[in-house]
Structure 1
Amino acid sequence: MKQRSLQSKLFIAYLSMACLILFSFAAFFYLFVAGRLKESQISAMNTLNSSFQSQVDSAIQNLDTVSVNINYSNISKSILDQKFDLNISDDMLSQMSDLFLSLSGTELKAAQVNLYDFSGYVLQAGLSTMVKKTDSSRTEWLQKAREASGKKIITKPYFTYEYSKSAKYPQWMISVYRSFTNQYRRGVGVIETAKQCKSIFKSIISYEKKNHNVAASVYVFNNDGELIYPYDISEKNAEQIKPYFTLTDDSQTSTRLKSPLTGKNVYATRADSKYTGFTYLTVQPESFILAPVYQMIKILMAVVAAFLLVSVIISYRLSRSVVKPVKHLKHIIQRMELDTLGQEKVTSYPVSVNELEELYQAFQHMSDNLKDSMLELTQTKEQEIRARSMALQTQINPHFYYNSLSSISVLAENGDCDTVVKMCRNLSMIMRYITDTGHTTVTLADELDYVRKYLYCMKVRYQSSLNYHIDVDESILMQKVPKLLIQPFVENAVRYGSDCAPPWTITISSYVADNCWKITVTDTGPGFSEEACARIAENLAKADQNPGLPALKINGLGTVNVYLRWKLFCKEDIIFEYGNNEDGHGMASIGRYTVQEQINIVTDSTRKEST
């Protein structure tokens, strides 16, 4: 799992809470308002539908009222003879025309009234007033009227030139047919009352003209699902609109469906007239109905974005106010060193949170206690290191003294006074160097001078069997090193390098580079065995796991002592090597890197075993 900073976690937590509240409110507001807006639009469509139905039903009812009044008028029956022969005189035609107009009223409920007999004549009054032979196109409707037994028959819209003054402009009409009876209630003819479609659908046409840009689509169907309105479109377009009738039913006042014309979602409100049998559909695209909702969404999103921006700023400031003191404390800890421990007072930093204030106080208390503890520990450590270094200075093979004194005795017996004097002088300087506890570090020049006197004493003992060479670059002679750092290597070289036939040679050489220097002690003996290398490696590993100088023993752990003291002195800049050179002879090296940025070394990588 990827780790995040405390500030980012707090920021995300605060912002998530703000987003949850904002978006929950926005979703609730949207659903609530959108539902109300949609209900309002659909209610308006239902109201509009009802008004269309009322106006059209009223117009059809007026036509039907005129036909009923004519049918029950005794005047019409008195004008016509009992045979009901419409082949009448002009005077009778004028009387019937006046009668029809008076029954239609001043508002002209019917623009045209036609009275048909069964002998093939029709009496017309209104837009056209005459008596003529019946048109064969009316035969179907006349037959339906006779079979309806006095019930009204409403035709589909049709266009005709019959009532037009000009043959260029036909009129769209709708007719109501009803059978005509005589005084004996016998059907003797058929009454037709007709009116222009533009008058019957006046309210729909007026609505579409006033709202032509945003008007809903209005469709009117009869009982058979045939399109009644719009009436002046092609049969192809009428067939495309017809599926609206089958996609809705009278059990629902509003329906959401896919438009058969555009394929887009629309809302349709339906009203069915029991009087005419017409079905009224008002269809509006969903995008138009939800347009206020979409506008509201834009406003709502702008408000949410503004609140979200404020939430981001507040969340950032809150998270930063909590994390900033923690970061400040972190920087103090990063800058803290043993020398500056306890100097910087964190309690002076202003904190607005009680828990962080307690954390600061606790850290300050810990820092002060840690400083006191570190001072005590440092003093104790320095005393321990001084005691161990002093103890190591006294750790020299007692056999060296025994052998040196024996050599002096032999030289005195042989009368070699000069050599005895020089030997005693060197031995005295060696003892003074070792027993001087006032200094634990010396220069390489002083250490090599001590090693040179030590090798001189060993040369006196072994005579021609032992040779030594010291070749160290003068540029490093002033480097500081712990006292008795090289002598244990030389002592081991003499001890183990003489485990073969003489002559034996001890060589002390140096290597100097731009970023390091190294002193190497080499003998001409048989070299390190595998068991010896393994034992030394094990002792060094234990020393790394258990910091501090090991228990001091005569003739024991000289290599480990040198390693630990040199590591304590150099820290990570240490160079420490042991093993066999290319000729199979033993070698041991100490050195130091002088440019810290050029190295990245751990202790194990500095201990190399040569084969």
Structure 2
Amino acid sequence: MLTKFKTIQAVLFSTYSLIIFIVFTVLVVWLCLWSSDLLKQNATDSLASMGRSMQEHIDSEIQKMNDVSLNVMYSNLVKNHFKRYTSELPDQTQTGDDSDSESNKQNIGLSGSIGNGSVQSVPEAHSVENAKALAEILTAAIGPSRPVEQLYLYDFKNKMYGNGFDNGERTYDPASKPWFKAVLAMQNGKIISLPVPDEEMSRYISSSDMQYSVSLFRQFYDNYNDPTGIVEVKQYYNRIFSSMLAFTGDNPYGAQVLVYNDNGDMIYPLQADKQHYAAYASLTAGQSLPQTQGKGSYLSFVNPNTRAKELLSLHRSELTGWNTLIIVSESKLLAPVFAFAKQTVLVAFFILLFAIMLSYAASKRITYPILKIHRSIRSMRLEDLGTGRVAAQTLGSGLNELDQLHVSFVRMSSRLKESMDDLLLSQSQEMQAKLVALQSQMNPHFLYNTLATIHAMAEENMNEQIVAMTENMSDFLRYFSTDAAIVSLQDELLHTGKFLDINQIRFGQKLHYEMEVDERMLELRIPKLVVQPLVENALKFGTQHEPPWHIHLSGKIEGGEWRLEVADNGPGFSEESLAHLFARIREVDATHVVPVLKLGGMGLLNIYIRMKLTYGDAAVFQIHNRPEGGAAIMIGGKL
């Protein structure tokens, strides 16, 4: 029973299976780890990219507001017109002030009277003109694309002027504005307010929901760098945070987005529970985090409320001082990674099972021929060999098949030893006979067949055909036996034609042949008997199928070289014969030694060798089977 495990098949199968299992397991584990890391990296990169994108969108909107406020701050026209405009307006909080009356009087004195001489028409006209000019200048400062929704200019008393959806002059109470003191304390720079409900801006939106707005404040100064007033730029909350609203409304991971300042005030979403998000708000982008990506950061985080693992993408804006935080469940974000790992393991299991089955089939295929050879050798017998002379021996290899094969070879050795000398002698004699056949360069079969045909025609009293055949035969043999090694193509074609005429008489209408050769080729000097053997070869193999048999001989000149092709409509060359012929040709090219040729198969190789000796590397010798049936052989060389 244990000997079954010593078989070559068992050893090969176990070895192959172990190698496949180890290599495949290592590759699958590496692929899973690499792919998981890649997918995780892509997921976290996408998370960080989304955070950067949203932060950049917020910065873009705030930058527009900042640019508008700077346009106002650095515009002398705006500041001068606003100062002139507010100085012409009556102080609503100090009615009856003598200074206002004196100012009005001065304006009257400077401007004179118009119309019907009313003393009030001149300052009113100036006020209207200044209001119109101020509106036009503010509109130009905001820009034609209207990047912000509303702009207000405040003096430090109680006057304000608006441009946007709310145009015109109004009064305000500085004490009621929570931002007033902070803006006065901020001599240089800007202040960005938290989102606040804005009833005025809500009127200009079709939605019935209360609209929130964000304002940017900064002081502006006159030519002497003295504070002149405050500029406020307003924008809709939904416009500033549109990218976040779109993301939280439709994202595959159920991610949350927070925007908060360094004080922990929640800016997005509205009415966010500061206490609930306190753990997140304590994080700032300035902290040293485990992973960094671009200008933002991402890290693993354990939710203090749910204890679930989360991935955070944190980005801080230097423009606003706000922190943008994306919160996503790690299990949801990495769900594709886990799904991929499961699928990979499942597919890997089936592939491994299939590979082991192939290993079994391969081991069985390797050992079966060995077992077959063993059985064949064991069944061999020689009459002059006694079985008692061979002693059974074991190889001791531990493999049953090799041990049995060794015993069989031991039994054969005595028989082979006795016949070796005789075999070598017969091979030597055979080689000598082949050499003589090669030197004679004559295949007697054509002669035998021709004489048999003449004999048959003589019995039929076909005297004219006999005369023509014997004349052609005589001319062909005379040409065949001449000593000239190089002849003209015209002579070669002439005697090839005689050869075909002889076979035409022999086969009658079963044989058809054509010759189409460029007349410029007729004077070419070529080795003797390189065309006729090609025709003979075509005739030999072409007649192996049902007639009629067609042989076509064509010649042409192309690019300084001549080509001559002989084609037939026979069965063509077998793959084995072509492979054997090409192998012999490669052997001749490699060794430059003429091999021993068989009597019936020396023609094509003989022609190749003589073409190679005559034309060298420029010799052309091509053999192929034609798509329409039959074979074609082409020879050629340089002109």
Band of TM-score, shorter chain: 0.3 to 0.5
Relative contact order higher in (CA < 8 Å, ≥ 6 apart): 2
TM-score under structure 1 normalisation?
0.47
TM-score under structure 2 normalisation?
0.45
